[in-house]
Amino acid sequence: GLALLLVRRRAAALYASTLILLGGFLLAWAHLASGGWFWTYTFGLHRRHPFALADAVLLTPARLMLLLGPGLVLLAAALVRVRTPRLLYASGMALTGSLASALGAGTEWSYYNALIPGVYFVALAVGTAAAVLETRRPVLAPLLLAAAIATAPGGLAALVMRALPRTASGLALPLGYDLRPYLPAADDRTRGDALLARLAAVPGDVFVPDHSFYPHLAGKTTRVHAMNLADLVGAGMRVPRDLVEEVRQKQFSVVVVDVEMGEDGTDDPATRAAREEEAIGLLPGVSRHYRLAERIAGPRVHSGGRFEPCCVLVPREGPSEPLR
């Protein structure tokens, strides 16, 4: 909506008024209804995380250019020849989306999905440019559009990586031409069903910090996600007191912890025990009040971090002692 400032000032004024009145009310409601956590988690925590300026200013634009290269040429050609209101509007939205991607990619623990706003809104602008330029360049516009579609799954990035493996290592992106590696296999479904059945059979509450939705599927109460805990700790804030108390009182019959796998999903047996202990140690108080009861092979995670449920913890008997 902010791109309306470029083409229609009256519409922009109406948009701004509506945003202030309605948006302000909704923000205030969310803040009060959550006891202040909405504002804290949406704005406060992210400001406390480290911000990599080079990733935002250099790496993110380079990745967007590799994903959208021919389309950006098409957009630039259209802006040079025909600057219609709708093209200016779409270009403003593309710029806003790119800035959002840069902001997200520069924040600590960002992932490839930070590029989504830039890719999406630039793609809309490219489509608008193709429609505008087609009448003036009936051959060039379709060719550039076809090239943009062909390289969008990461073809240009792969070529640059192959040509400059050391220099361009930071530009690496997952390819989207073959989606099979991102699809769960039958073994993953079997593992997932087995884990859910085990959680459902356990009396009382369970805690699965890396997969908060698993307890819900098993008919249990959900708890805070591990990334939320990491956000709080990374920002120098305290872990929710109710969770600390639940762990201290051994309220959970079972705690299931994930271990981080290799980038290609493989496991290194030599470092497995150390990674398991590190994963358990990241959860506040768990190593003091729970012990490792069993190692399992849980369902794999196919996007984001390569994590896999590995350890079933049960309450310790008697006084607390260090994790063994």
Report d(CA 172, CA 17) in Å as an integer: 42
254 and 133 share a domain? no
User: Are residues 212 and 254 both part of a single domain?
Assistant: yes
Domain count, the chain: 2
- 44 exposed, middle or buried (CB, 10 Å; 0-12, 13-18, 19+)? middle
**Rounded Cα gap, residues 29 and 179, in angstroms:** 41
Q: Are residues 72 and 162 in the same domain?
A: yes
Q: Which of the listed residues 109, 142, 171 is the one where a domain comes to its end?
A: 171
Q: Parallel, antiparallel, or unpaired: how do β-strands 290-295 and 205-207 relate?
A: unpaired
On whether both 200 and 159 belong to a single domain, the answer is no
Query: Same structural domain for residues 155 and 185?
Result: no
Tens-of-pLDDT digits for all 324 residues of the chain? Answer: 555 555 667 777 777 788 888 888 898 999 899 888 788 777 777 777 788 999 999 999 999 999 999 999 999 999 998 888 889 989 999 999 999 999 999 988 888 899 999 999 999 999 999 998 888 888 889 999 999 999 999 989 888 888 888 777 778 888 888 888 888 889 999 999 999 999 999 999 999 999 989 999 999 999 888 888 887 777 677 788 888 899 999 999 999 999 988 766 677 777 888 888 888 888 888 989 999 999 999 998 887 778 899 999 999 986 554 444
| Residue 308 counted as domain residue | yes
Phi and psi dihedrals of 253, rounded to 5? Answer: -70, -30
List, in order, residues 6 or more apart from 264 with CB less than 8 Å away. none
Question: Does residue 104 lie in a domain region?
Answer: yes
Listed residues 171, 202, 229: the one ending a domain:
171
72 and 143 housed in the same domain: yes
Is residue 155 located within the same domain as residue 246? Answer: no
- Domain for residue 11, yes or no? no
Do 293 and 313 contact (CB within 8 A), yes or no? yes
User: Which residue range(s) make up the domain with 298?
Assistant: 181-315
Domain check: are 126 and 191 in the same one?
no
